Amino acid sequence: MKPIQKFELIETIRNTIDGLPVSLKSAAKYVVDYPNDFGLDTLRTSAQKIGVSPNSLVRLAQRYDFERFDAFREPFRVALVAENEAIEGQEWIAEIEEHGEAGKQHAQAINNELHNISRSLHLMTLERVEEISNVIQASKNCYTVAVRASYALAYYFHYVGRMAVPQLQLVPKYMSAPLDELVDIGKDDVLLAITVAPYSSETIQAMRFAKERGAKIILISDSEVIGPNVKPDYFLKVSTFSTHEFACFGGAMAVLECLLSYLIKRGGEGVKTRITNYESMRDQAGAYWKPRRPRIR
């Protein structure tokens, strides 16, 4: 059984999840969102994590033509072996871990962040980057939408990205709801949405509104299944595992950085000129602090 079968199965589940009974939807979403945990855990452990009975997972397996739960889980286990690439040369983390309880916590946070970044970039295939870059650059307007904590990611992407893609728009710009600034969105536009669990209702509403208007949707999230009847045209999955109560954004930031790098490089000399002009304007406006030269008497 080849690892690729895992991705084919995930795609099948993703495309059929809206038609599943309510009792199986949460289980299906867990399989899509946490395929590695699902491949590693026992039937009972997975059921406890999801909050369903073991029988629900058995029925989910049967729903996708697997006679036994083990056969349903097997593609995920095989893929785990193929993907299990250890991070080498990280002796410094092991040294940190030796310094008591605080050292263990610090090392755990570092390893978690490295995993998030590595996993997110692994899922960011060249094909997806090229498709999304083409769509953004060809758009009349590209609205970047996020709220609350995710807004920091959207703000940075817009701040840097507008130098390569002048049609980038940050939504919301002011103290308003995203929908207020999407009144003119249409079929020649793109909406790039950023949201992670728990998913923002404002962002989901913006995606639905943009879809109704014919705009293309790009979603950057920890799951493609963020709400009923919300299906993006393009999707970049990011890992947001955390050692505390809130999502970690290291993986999402790494994905945005790579996307920005791709957009800037593709922009050629025009982008370089625009960046130079921005820097010159800021320098003339005194935007950057500079040490004063001492006066010679």
Give the per-residue pLDDT at 266: 87
| pLDDT over 90 (residue 203) | yes
pLDDT at 83 over 60: no
Given a cut of 70, whether residue 141 has pLDDT beyond it is yes
Whether the pLDDT of residue 1 is over 50: the answer is no
Cα dihedral across residues 268, 273, 274, 275: positive or negative: positive
Q: Which of 40-44, 189-193, 263-267 holds the top average pLDDT? A: 189-193
| Whole-prediction pTM | 0.76
The domain 4-83: what is its CATH number?
Answer: 1.10.10.10
Residue-level length of the chain? 297
Write out the H or E segment, with its range, that includes residue 254: helix 250-284
Question: What is the number of alpha carbons within 13 Å of residue 197 lying toward its C-beta?
Answer: 16
Q: For the chain, what percent of residues have pLDDT higher than 90?
A: 54
Average pLDDT (94-108) is 88
Average pLDDT over residues 73-85: 71
Residue 235 three-state SS = strand
User: Comparing 254 with 35, which gets the higher pLDDT?
Assistant: 254
pLDDT at 177 over 90: no
pLDDT for the residue numbered 115: 86
pLDDT greater than 70 at residue 246: yes
Separation between Cα atoms, residue 15 and residue 256, nearest integer Å: 26
Residues near 33 by beta carbon (within 8 Å), at least 6 away in sequence: 222, 223, 225
Burial of 209 (0-12, 13-18, 19+ CB in 10 A): middle
- Phi first, then psi, for residue 221 (nearest 5°) are -160, 170
DSSP state of 187: T
* Six-digit token string for 24: 């199986």
Task: Kindly state the average pLDDT of the residues 51-70.
Answer: 92
Average pLDDT, the chain: 88
Measured CA to CA, the distance from residue 135 to residue 2 in angstroms comes to 32
Residue 241's closest CA among 223, 267, 259, 268? 223
What confidence tier does 54 reach under pLDDT thresholds 50, 70, 90?
A: very high
Confidence of residue 176 (pLDDT cuts 50, 70, 90): confident
Please compute Rg for the chain using Cα positions: 22
Q: What local confidence, expressed as pLDDT, does residue 285 receive?
A: 86
Residue span(s) of the chain under CATH 1.10.10.10 come to 4-83
Query: Quick one: CATH architecture of 126-269?
Result: 3-Layer(aba) Sandwich (3.40)
Residues 12-29 pLDDT 10s: 898 899 899 988 999 999
Three-class SS state of 283: helix
Q: What is the pLDDT of residue 148?
A: 93
Cα–Cα dist 281/275, whole Å: 10
Q: Start-end ranges of CATH 3.40.50.10490 in the chain?
A: 126-269
At residue 52 the predicted structure's pLDDT band, cuts being 50, 70 and 90, is: very high
- pLDDT value at position 202? 95
At residue 107, the pLDDT reads: 87
- Residue 82 scores a pLDDT above 60: no
Is 244 a residue whose pLDDT tops 90? no
Would you state the structure tokens that stand for residue 148, as one six-digit string? 């609350």
From 191, 184, 195, select the one nearest 208 (Cα to Cα).
Answer: 191
